[in-house]
Structure 1
């Protein structure tokens, strides 16, 4: 065969190899997607302006809070309208420790998570004896009474005025700007908590939570104690929300009772439902929804942003009834089927 003929064959072979590479990538997407997301997250703060970096940082903060809510709602089958309260517990724990006691901000994270866990455990014992609508109403009361409680102890919490803090500075050895340092701090905490959550769900405890979610009576027959595991799930969920609250304090450098109304709890629940209950990427997608959609709604109609926000929620749920993560999963499977047919 002459050289020109070989050159004509090579492009055809290369073109034929492309679908096989795409199929291999599709088969290994469970490993490829996290790597690509991590690479994009590492590059983003060096390519965006400070305000966009701040917005992405808040996406991680909300994703961390939704990680806990996903554990409770998506993997245990319970419902909570009070997670804004645990978020506030973590935020105020970090703020008081930093402002009143001059504790280094990094040390406030385990304290905020531990206190939120303790509060969640204490509330979980009586609360999780309820189900359905009764459980939702009782958990919502947690967020309702928290605001006046924070205002009452003004000598510690700053009352209605809240507490204004100094933003944590980036260590000099990093060479990072303040917003970039906070971004990476939020990313690191969220990634670490996601790994802990993943290990938990893959353990015997995770299987017990799924058994309780699917059929509580059958789980009890198999030796699983539903009340025990539901209480622990409530406490773990509160712990993640408390950790998110601490990181939120680092980023915002301000806490106020009016920032943690029942609307925050409703927003978080809407975020995890929109993101995808029980899914791996649901908290991240829900965090992006909680961060960006209210801003979009405000831009579309300044007079009635809540109306626009509600319409957007209805539209998303109509297009993706299993959440954005479910929509992405269906798109990936459809793409894989198309490649197999080729």
Structure 2
């Protein structure tokens, strides 16, 4: 059944994309409960984070437990620039990307020569260091109380101050992130990243410098996480260190594992599932976390590679077209 669905999807990919976009655009008009639209907006933020993490954990093969740190760096950058210096939303969003990118370079250059569990531990330590700074540098970050009064997003005088407006803004950011990473992975850089992940020794033999590709993937991922943080700060109007803890890093990693490593659509599906499930199970209260955990275990047991893990729509389409061509050729000969 699953193979039939993915085959139909691969053969009619453009139609599926158009229908999906229509549904996403119509969603806030069809839903009367504004709280659901707010949850969908939060799902969009996590979708950006999941796609950006998938760039290094899925496509590059680096397990990172510190992605929330870049998210936090971007959020605090936007919060400080907007509240203390009065910068507009567009500039704070760009600054969030740039500052997170710089932190990605500072972390990546000395550590990406490491591999496996050692690199994972370093990213975990980095996340805790950033959280500690956010908590204890009270004169800058406000400490545990955080930063309040962050203005809502505003672009050329248009204020995004309703759930529907915020939803469409994060939808645009999600689409841009998806397109950027897709184009990146279809480029020479993307092929190099995949080659390093699959066999870095063979890649080096072919003249591909693995450290160069690792750092490039790492900083792009960090910049996208910083953008998500900048948007999140303006969206929530309040941030604190609790929002960017190690727990958030594991949540984002869980999203891409469940959705499928190396699959951007899977990242979005994983983010939506892990954000929506707790809300769907809210009426059960006492049993909510138990059912939530059990469902995750079932998904992992049934699909160890993730919902869309190892699903390559381009290859499926080529395979089906080749199969149909062979069948037609056989009919002609008959």
User: Which range is displaced more, 290-299 or 42-51?
Assistant: 290-299
CA RMSD of superposed structures (Å): 2.9
**1:80 match: secondary structure:** coil
Between the aligned partners of 1:166 and 1:99, the Cα distance in structure 2 is 6
User: For the structure 1 residues 329 and 54, does the alpha-carbon distance in structure 2 shift closer, same or farther, using more than 3 Å as the test?
Assistant: farther
Tell me, what secondary structure is at the counterpart of 2:63?
coil
For the pair 1:219 / 2:203, whether they are aligned, the reply is yes
User: Could you tell me the TM-score, scaled by structure 1's length?
Assistant: 0.83
Mapped to 1, the partners of 2:302 and 2:101 lie a distance apart of 36
Tell me, yes or no, if the aligned pair for 1:276 and 1:283 is still in contact at 8 Å. Answer: yes
Aligned to 1:314: 297
| Partner Cα separation in structure 2 for residue 240 and residue 280 of structure 1 | 14
Runs of 5+ in structure 2 lacking a partner? 328-334
Instruction: After TM superposition, give the deviation of residue 300 of structure 1 in Å.
Output: 3.7
Q: Tell me, in whole angstroms, the C-alpha distance in 1 between the residues paired with 2:287 and 2:20.
A: 36
Which of 8, 11, 24 is matched with 1:41 structurally? 24
Task: Tell me how far 1:296 sits from its aligned partner.
Answer: 4.6
Distance 1:148 1:326, change over 3 A: closer
Label 1:129 to 1:45 Cα distance change in 2 as closer, same or farther (>3 A): same
Query: Are 2:56 and 1:72 equivalent residues in the alignment?
Result: yes
Gaps of 5+ in 1: 1-21
Aligned pair 1:30/2:5, yes or no? Answer: no
Structure 1 pair 116–172 and aligned structure 2 pair: CA distance change class (3 A): closer
Q: Give the distance between the partners of 2:10 and 2:211, measured in 1 at CA.
A: 39
Measure, in 1, the Cα distance between the counterparts of 2:85 and 2:71.
21
Q: How many residues align?
A: 313
1:238 aligned onto 2:193: no
Give distance in 1, aligned partners of 2:297 and 2:243. Answer: 25
The 1-side partners of 2:19 and 2:306 are apart by: 21
User: Which of 112, 126, 135 is the aligned partner of 1:151?
Assistant: 135
Which has the greater radius of gyration? 1
